[in-house]
Amino acid sequence: METITINKSIHQNIDTSSGSNIIRLTPNSTDLNLNPRDRVITRNKYIKNLKAYSNITSIAEANLPDFKFDDSDSEKLNKVLDVEWRSPRKQLDLLIGEFNNWLPVGQISMLNPMGYPYRINNLLDLLTDNLAFELGQLVDIAVKINDVGYGLLEDNDIVTIFGNYVEEITIDDSNLPVTNITEQTILISQTTTILAPSNDIRKFFLMQNISENVIYFSLTPNANIDSIQVMPGGHYQFTTDNVAYFGAITGYSEYNSNVLVIEGS
């Protein structure tokens, strides 16, 4: 087993052209250039950091909470919530899902705060209290702007989503037993001859020169006298654990020559 960890950044700008479209933040999984015999066992994504920067100038400034000297803690909290959710605002929805099946998991108010040009909200807090949020293999995180009575983003409004996530891929790269062996004698001459066709499940290859002539072989479609020489009685072999080659193997000889070829898969 082997686990591959890929760190990916999130940096998504949202502006008036985005409208109310759903914008995915964790796109399709990474394509891996694997050995054909390796198998992907699991894929997982972990959101490690996710924040929203907002600079909203198209609405009126939100007033600061008006705290009184004798306000209780609950009264102060209610005043803060009133400012946050009853002031003129834009709203960013955080969504989780796949394809066209998206479910809301949180919202933030984007205000024009009095005396301060912008705000930064921690979106990860809407997902988990832990250091990371596990998405799994198929699920993605997305955002959208929601009109809550004050319209969508306008020309001078700026929203940037930024953060990072980790894609973790577990691969089974263990050695599998040989279950099929082919053995044949092949006659080669002054034209390129295929000794073994492409084989994605090849485990080993062995070739022995059983003629009295020098033969040439190549790990390309065109063997010739400039290819690798194998003397009479000599052989060449490899396993795909050491040489991960699964393409065609070809041979050439200046005279009619027999080659013994054994391939396991």
Tens of pLDDT along 196-243?
Answer: 999 988 889 999 999 999 999 999 989 999 999 999 999 999 988 788
Which pLDDT band holds residue 112 (cuts at 50, 70, 90)? Answer: very high
Which pLDDT band holds residue 147 (cuts at 50, 70, 90)? Answer: very high
Strands (E), the chain: 2-14, 23-24, 39-55, 90-98, 101-110, 119-122, 133-136, 140-146, 158-172, 181-188, 193-196, 204-209, 215-218, 228-230, 235-239, 249-253, 257-264
pLDDT above 80 for 175: no
The conformation of residue 116, written as its DSSP 8-state character, comes to -
Q: State how far the Cα of 217 lies from the Cα of 220, in Å rounded to an integer.
A: 9
The reply to whether the predicted model has a pTM over 0.75 is no
**Are 65 and 71 contacting, i.e. CB atoms less than 8 angstroms apart?**
no
Task: Provide the token pair at 22.
Answer: 């759903």
The pLDDT of residue 50 is 96
Tens of pLDDT along 33-65?
Answer: 666 666 777 888 999 999 999 999 999 998 888
Domains, the chain = 2-172 (2.60.120), 181-264 (2.60.120.770)
Task: Provide the token pair at 20.
Answer: 């109310």
The average pLDDT across 90-108 equals: 92
pLDDT above 70 for 32: no
Residue 155 zone, left/alpha/beta (φ > 0; ψ -120 to 50; rest):
alpha
Pairing of strands 235-239, 204-209: antiparallel
**Are 205 and 263 contacting, i.e. CB atoms less than 8 angstroms apart?**
yes
Out of 68-72, 140-144, 168-172, give the one with best mean pLDDT.
Answer: 140-144
Percent of the chain surpassing pLDDT 70: 94
SS3 79: helix
The pLDDT of residue 141 is 93
Which pLDDT band holds residue 137 (cuts at 50, 70, 90)? Answer: confident
pLDDT above 90 for 149: yes
The pLDDT of residue 39 is 72
Least confident of 49-58, 69-78, 192-201, 253-262: 69-78
Helix locations, 63-219, DSSP H: 73-86
